[in-house]
Structure formats: structure tokens, C-alpha cells
Structure 1
């Protein structure tokens, strides 16, 4: 029987992942996988918070418009956008600083309505909303 130990000193988040163990001899090979999850002791926790709310906007039909808001939280909140209560899954980007933007490249009359951003993590959820008016 053979025993092998791997020891990681000063564990960092970069050490997180799957480690493969391979044992080989003339009779064959055996493979095992170990998953290392790194948790930060005393890590901060914070519910989502709206730092910059959505603002009402008016746009001429055919013109571009971008709605933006900034939300923060630990862990980083999951952000979802809605128009008139229906989730929007395209043209949405959220950066690492928590700024979420919904871009409409050429506004149409059907883009007119109430927009809501919902941000949620394991510690809570927040919303911010605004109205987009599309003018002819």
C-alpha cells in the first residue's frame, strides 16, 4: 500500500478547484477527484443595496437609450431586469463594480413602459424602478 499527501500552505482563493489523483502501476490505473472549496473566515456579508437608482428617461423613437443602476452586496447580487413585469434577458450587462445597464439600440413604441431592476443575494433583495417614455 502506498500513501501520498498533498499539503497546501497559506491557502488562497486561487487554490480552489478540482484536484485529480491518479495511481498507476503495471496492473492498471485508478483515478479519484477531490474538490477544494475555500471559504474566507470572517468574510463580510451584506444584503443588496441600491447605490444609484434607475432614473426615468425619455427617448425619441429610433434613438438609443441606456438605463443604468448601481447595486452592491456581498456576495455579489444576482441582477434581473423587467419591463412591465416581464423579465428581460437580452441587452443587459453588469460589471464587477455593480453597475448594471440595459441598452436599447433603437427605441420602439413597445419599449415604452415601466422598468425594474431586482438584485438578490442570500441576505436579501432590493429593487429600483423607472419609467421609459418613447416619443414619436
Structure 2
């Protein structure tokens, strides 16, 4: 076992086995070989990707007509996921949606009597 993250090194040091890879393991890995006549080195960069995940979806919301309401959708994923808002299964006007890092939200300032969850992709 390698002391770094307890990664097993196999086959006389020629294989590095990464199991259950996590984002903390992303980085440059170097392999060096040496003997009495020289030394060789090769680098590999391990990039971790992750599927989109919705961290904090909004539940059903109710709002008084004429008041505003903000609906939030916090997402994660690598590369950063593209978020779309839908209303009744139709794409929503993207000009009303805003994003800050991995938090996407939409704010309504027009008349609504009640509102249910919006779907995200």
C-alpha cells in the first residue's frame, strides 16, 4: 500500500490501483524508474468527472398573488452541469434565471396564485 490515500501499488511497483476514486485523488501522478545507468519519468494527469446531482431542490411553494418568490436549485457535477428551468414540461424564459457558482435560482415578480415544483435537467 502506498502511504498516499492507502493506494495499493501492485506488480513490483508497476501498477497503481485506484478504487472508489474521489475528487481528492485528482492530480498529477508520476512514475519514475531508475537503475545504475539512468532514470526515466512519465506523468499522467488524473481528472475526475462526476454526473450532475441536485443538492437542494425546492419543494412545493405557495405565494400570494402580486408577491415575489424565488425558487432555488443547487447542483453539483464535474464538469459544471448546465441547468434548465421548465414550467409544465416546457422550457422557461432563460432571461429570468440567474446563476451564482453552483446555485441556480429564478425569481418571480408577477402574479401567481400558487406554484408547484419546477423540473430541472
Distance in 2, matches of 1:100 and 1:62, equals 23
Structure 1 stretches of 5 or more lacking a match?
A: 1-39, 119-136
2:74 aligned with 1:70: yes
Cα distance 1:58–1:87, how it changes in 2: closer, same or farther (>3 A)?
same
Aligned length: 77
2:51 aligned with 1:53: no
Counterpart pick for 2:120 among 97, 114, 117: 117
Distance in 2, matches of 1:107 and 1:55, equals 20
Greater strand fraction, Structure 1 or Structure 2:
1
Please report the RMSD computed on the Cα atoms of aligned residues, expressed in angstroms: 2.0
Tell me which of the two structures has the higher relative contact order, counting C-alpha pairs closer than 8 angstroms and 6 or more residues apart: 1
Structure 2 stretches of 5 or more lacking a match?
A: 1-43
Distance in 2, matches of 1:107 and 1:90, equals 18
**Per-residue Cα deviation, 1:28-56 (whole angstroms, up to 9, x for no partner):** xxxxxxxxxxxx92111000111112221
SS of the aligned residue for 1:57 comes to coil
Residues 1-136 of structure 1: pairs in structure 2 closer than 5 A? 41-88=45-92, 89-96=94-101, 98-109=102-113, 112-118=115-121
